[in-house]
Structures are given as structure tokens and as C-alpha cells.
Structure 1
Amino acid sequence: MAQWLSGIVTENQHWHANLFSLKVKTPAFNFTAGQFVRLALNTTDGRLQRAYSLVNSPGSAEQEFLVSTVAEGKLSPLLQQLKMGDAVEISQPASGFFVLDEVPAGDNLWLISSGTGIGPYLSMLGTHQLWQRFAHIILIHSVRTVADLAYREFIANCQHQYPGQLHYQPIVTREAHSGALDKRLPELIYSGELQSACQQNISNRSQVMLCGNPEMIKDTKVALESLGLTKNLRRTPGNITVEQYW
């Protein structure tokens, strides 16, 4: 049975009307970058809880979550309204196998996300393990609007800290944005446009992690399999590691 830590909100940053980052101060706990916990609030309708990936890296003083507000959702609209000093509970221990320890070696590592699915990768970017294991890391963030491109300053700082090792490629499907691609991920992979823009190949010597919208994951996985990549399983190591984010 899960244990619960009492946390206090220290910041609620709104990227736009339906996207925000929540920072919560809790007693220290261990987790692996890429794992998730549950956030819970006690309301007049009972206890509401939902799983969210940790955006912060292990060892951080605060826990951070990237949340998209679901209009018909019960919990996310309440989380969006939280202010500094408000209470929220966090489950223990952290869970999930969407971690670098589960990913085999490769010539390059593609971190492919849509929407808030970028969260686990942000946690990984703050670890030494990522940079030590892969010479070329390609972070792909597919969103609808430019305002959805959260954490660009943090990503730019990582690129500055590890010059030539990290390529960041935004994809914005509903607005024009300089430097961004504008088609769906599978189409970009089939045509080779994604690989060309990132100046990296996708082959059976690559490792790819997928996190985000289930339709994106399903269709992108098919595109990757057409290039000879296989799903990564413990009993049969392959190239494609998947997180079913919701």
C-alpha cells in the first residue's frame, strides 16, 4: 500500500491558461529519473489522486510536476488553483520502469514526447547518467501551440552545459514557429525530415523513448518499426521504450 508525504506548494507557474508547473516542498525521498508519483487532494467530494511524472531530478529540494488542465477532470483544475502554502500529498514510493537503466546502449538516444510527456525527459536531463551513456541525445517535443513549449530556458542551459551533445527539436502543429517542424511525428519519420533536421539517423543502432499521447505513441512506434527498430523488453532487448502516460 502506498505511503503519503505531506507537501507544501512553493510555486505554481502558469505557462498558459491550461498548462502549469507545480513545485512542492516535501521531506526528501529517493526516486529514479523517469518515475512517477501520485498527487492527492482531500476535497468535499472525497480524496482525489492521479499519477504525474516527476520533472525535477533526484536530489532536488522540491518536487516538480508539469500538468495540463483537463476541463472535465476532477483533480487537475484544483491543482491549477493551488497557491503558495497550500497542502498537497505525494505518494511513496515512486513507481515506473521508464528509466535509463531499462534502455540498452545505442549510437544515439531519441527522447520523443508530446505535450506534458516531456516531463520524464527533463528529469533525465538533470542526471549524470544520461550524458555519460549517450554521445548524441535528441529531445523532440511535439505540441499544438508555441505556448506549449515549456522549459525552453532549462533545455537551452543543458545545451550550453553539454555543447554538441543535445539537439532540441520542437514540433508545433497548429502555429508557425521559427526552427520548429510542423507535421505529425510519424510523417516526419517516414519522410526522413525529422532525421535531417536533427542531423542524426534512426536505425537499429538507435535507442528511442516515447512518452505522451497514446495515439502519438502507437503511430510513431509503427513508423519506427518500419525502419527496423523493435520494442525494448527485458526478456528481449530492443530499441523502443514506451511510457503509456495516460
Structure 2
Amino acid sequence: MSDHKAEAATLASTTLEPIVLEPTAALTVEEVLSVHHWNDHLFSFKITRPASFRFRSGEFIMIGLQGDNGKPLLRAYSIASPSWAEEIEFLSIKVEDGPLTSKLQKIQPGDHIYLGRKPVGTLVTDALSPGKRLFLFGSGTGLAPFLSLIRDPDVYEAFEQVIVVHSVRTVADLAFREELESQLAGDPLVEDQALLQLTYVPTVTREDFHTTGRINTLIDNGRLFEGLKGEARLVPESDRVMLCGSMAMNKDIAAMLEGLGFVEGSNNKPADFVIERAFVG
């Protein structure tokens, strides 16, 4: 064998084989179908959905990749797609030194990923008592479960108005902005209902924008209620609230809601507002 052929054979034998993920009792292995990078620290992606996978719009699931120790490295992610969708979508931040997101942000279509078999969560309509207005307060990637909920026909049957409030630092962080501003135009199931019942309120905290300030500020100054039917304040008798975002946001708004007489609900005891405490990012 010539030196050139010998060198080529050596390189071929040392080429790293792609990591093959194996399903477990708690995890399936799914294929990445598409990836969209919104900016340098935010991306979304879609994966295949197992035929047996069922979830309620608004729930979260464990997803992940193989860790450095050869075991699954998992984190909780809210599902951004509606319960009827054929694919499962997620919205994620990018953290360069994050154990999972440092790897996850590099996925490409055709790659494989772990998906948990058991979705759970409290950001579901089952955890809320009946009401007229549903306020969905999210910061950053906390928008994800609300993307699922607002494409569920049952949500529009349960509430007269659905208000998505998305708080981010910069305008570039307003993921899915065009889709939301169009009030889900073209959606196969909720286009008509969303046009009449869905309101989108994006707000930016660190750049000039037509709406600025944190969600608390919009509630206090009344900006949040412009154009809505009903009172220009949160009313525990008829308003229902879901919170998904930073720990600080969840804590501050929950305290404000409780001060107004709202009661936190759960799957076992529906009430006026719910918080997703397991959200990542």
C-alpha cells in the first residue's frame, strides 16, 4: 500500500462515528426536521412526533442530547406547537457554556434528539376556572407554551378574549412576531376565532419600541388594556392569567395578582392564575 493510501485509510479509521441515540423506557428518539435561528441567542426547531405522543396545549416535556458521560442530558422545555400538530416545536435560548443549550443550538435537520414520553405542566386550561379574558404573560422564551395554547380551538371556546403579552429585551427577541401580529392568519383551525378574539401585545425593555416597559408597568399604567373589552384593570371575578418567564417576573406578577385577590390554581384545584415553575431559560 502506498504512503498516500495508508494515510487515507488511517484517517478513515479514526473518523468519529455519529452518536446514535437509543430510546429508553422514559425517552423516545426523534429526528430534527427544521431549525430557525431568530438571532444570535434565540432559536426554534421542529422534531418528529411519535404516533403515540399526546399532550395538552401548554404542557412541557423533557428533551435532550447525549451528555459527555454518555447518558441523556435533559431539560424541561415547553411545547410551542398545538396539541393537534403533526410535528413538535420548541423555542430555546442559546447559552454558550450551558450544559445542554451549548450543544442543542448546533443541531441540524436530520440530527436526533431525546423526547420524553410523559408531558406535564400547569399552563393548561384545566387548571383555570371559567372566565372571560385570558391573559398570557410571557418573557423571553416563556412565549413557547402560549404559542401552543393560542392555536387550540378549545381556548377560544372557553374565553371571549385571549391576550398574549410578550416581554423581551430587544426587538430582535420578538420571536414569531409576524405570525402573532397577523393574528394567526392562515392557521387551519383557529384563523377565524383568532382574528376576532386574539390580541398580541409585544413590549421591549431595552430599546425604543411602540410599547416599552415590563409587563407590571403595562398593567399599572393601563397600556395593557387599550383596545380590550372590559375593565382597564385585572379583575379576579372574570380574568384568568397564565405566567411563564423569568423567576423574577413570575414572582413579581404572582405577588401582584394575589394582592388583587387572584388565587393560584393547579390541575387538581382550578383557580384564577397559574405559573409554569419548571420552565427552562
Q: Under a length normalisation based on structure 1, what TM-score does the superposition of the two structures give?
A: 0.91
8 Å Cα contact 1:231/1:239 also seen in 2: yes
Give 1:2 shift. 5.5
Q: Point out where structure 1 has 5 or more consecutive residues left out of the alignment.
A: none
Paired residue for 2:265? 232
Once the two structures are superposed, the pairs formed by residues 184-203 of structure 1 within 5 Å of their partners are 184-196=214-226, 198=228, 200-201=230-231, 202-203=234-235
Q: What is the count of residue pairs matched by the alignment? A: 244
Question: Which residue of 44, 53, 57 corresponds with 1:33?
Answer: 57
2:74 partner letter: Q
For structure 2, the residue ranges without an aligned partner over 5 or more in a row are 1-23, 186-190
User: What does 1:31-180 correspond to in 2, within 5 Å?
Assistant: 31-46=55-70, 47-158=72-183, 160=185, 161=191, 162-178=194-210
Which residue identity does 1:19 align to in structure 2? L
Q: Distance in 1 between matches of 2:42 and 2:90?
A: 11
Fraction of identical pairs, as percent: 35
Judge conservation of contact 1:189–1:224 (CA < 8 Å) in 2: no
Q: Deviation string for 1:116-158 (max 9, x for gaps)?
A: 1111111111211011111111110000011111112332343
Alignment match of 1:17 (pick from 28, 36, 40): 40
Q: How far apart in 2 are the matches of 1:106 and 1:26?
A: 32
Q: Cα offset for 1:235?
A: 6.6
Q: Hey, which of these two has a bigger chunk of strand by percent?
A: 1
Runs of 4+ in 1 over 4 A off after TM superposition: 197-200, 233-237
Letter aligned with residue 57 of structure 2: A
Distance 1:200 1:2, change over 3 A: farther
1:14-59 CA distances to partner (integer Å, 9 max, x unpaired)? 0000100011113221111111111121143333111101111113
Query: Given residue 238 of structure 1, which amino acid in structure 2 is its aligned partner?
Result: A
Counterpart-to-counterpart distance in 2, 1:41 and 1:19: 18
| d(CA) in 1 for partners of 2:99, 2:158 | 40
Give the secondary-structure state (helix, strand or coil) at the position aligned to 1:158: coil
Q: Distance in 2 between matches of 1:238 and 1:27?
A: 33
Superposition deviation, residue 237 in structure 1: 4.4
CA apart distance, 1:228: 2.8
Instruction: Supply the distance in 2 between the matched residues of 1:44 and 1:231 (Cα, whole angstroms).
Output: 39
- Give the Cα–Cα distance (whole angstroms) in 2 for the partners of residues 142 and 84 of structure 1: 30
Question: Residues of 2 paired with 1:165 and 1:186: CA distance?
Answer: 23
Q: Which amino acid aligns with 1:37?
A: I
Q: How many Å separate the matches in 2 of 1:65 and 1:130?
A: 20
The AA in structure 2 aligned to 1:98 is L
For residues 235 and 95 of structure 1, do their structure 2 counterparts lie closer, same or farther at Cα, with a shift above 3 Å needed?
closer
Aligned to 2:245: 212
Shift of 1:111: 0.7
2:274 to 220, 241, 244: 241
Partners of 2:251 and 2:202 in 1: CA distance: 20
